[in-house]
Amino acid sequence: MVDPGQTSEDATRLARAIEHRFGAPLPPSDVAIERLATLRAMADRRSIRDYDLARPVDQRLLEILCAVALSAPTKSDLQQRDIVVLEDPQQRRRVTSLIGEAWIDTAPAFLVFCGNNRRQRQIHEWRGRPFPNDHLDAFFNAAVDAGIALATFVTAAEAAGLGCCPISQIRNHAATVSAILELPPHVFPVAGMTVGWPARPGGMSLRLPLDVTVHRDRFDESDLRRRIDAYDRRRSALQPYARQRYEKEFGHADHYGWSEDKARQYAKPERADFGAFVRARGFNLE
In which band, very low, low, confident or very high, does the pLDDT at 38 lie, cut at 50, 70 and 90? confident
Question: How high is the pLDDT of residue 40?
Answer: 87
In which band, very low, low, confident or very high, does the pLDDT at 30 lie, cut at 50, 70 and 90? low
Q: What is the mean pLDDT of residues 69-88?
A: 97
How far apart are alpha carbons 111 and 102 in whole angstroms? 16
Q: What is the mean pLDDT of residues 151-177?
A: 97
Q: What is the mean pLDDT of residues 154-158?
A: 96
Q: What is the mean pLDDT of residues 249-273?
A: 96
The second-level CATH assignment, the architecture, of 59-202 is: 3-Layer(aba) Sandwich (3.40)
Question: How high is the pLDDT of residue 99?
Answer: 94
Instruction: Determine how many CB atoms are found less than 10 A away from the CB of residue 105.
Output: 15
Domains of the chain, by residue range, sit at: 59-202, 210-265
Mean pLDDT in the chain? 93
**For the purposes of burial, counting CB atoms within 10 Å of the CB of 230, is it exposed (0-12), middle (13-18) or buried (19 or more)?**
middle
Question: How high is the pLDDT of residue 14?
Answer: 84
- Has residue 5 got a pLDDT over 60? no
Give the residue with greater pLDDT, 155 vs 6: 155
pLDDT in tens, 46-71: 999 999 999 999 999 999 999 999 99
**pTM, rounded to two decimals:** 0.91
Question: How high is the pLDDT of residue 4?
Answer: 56
% of the chain with per-residue pLDDT over 90: 86
Question: How high is the pLDDT of residue 31?
Answer: 61
- Has residue 175 got a pLDDT over 60? yes
pLDDT in tens, 239-256: 999 999 999 999 999 999
Q: Which residues contact 285 (CB under 8 A, 6 or more apart)?
A: 135, 136, 139, 275, 278, 279
Question: How high is the pLDDT of residue 148?
Answer: 98
Question: How high is the pLDDT of residue 1?
Answer: 45
Question: How high is the pLDDT of residue 277?
Answer: 97
How far apart are alpha carbons 155 and 195 in whole angstroms? 12
Q: Picking from 6-15, 28-37, 50-59, 213-222, which range would have the lowest pLDDT averaged per residue?
A: 28-37
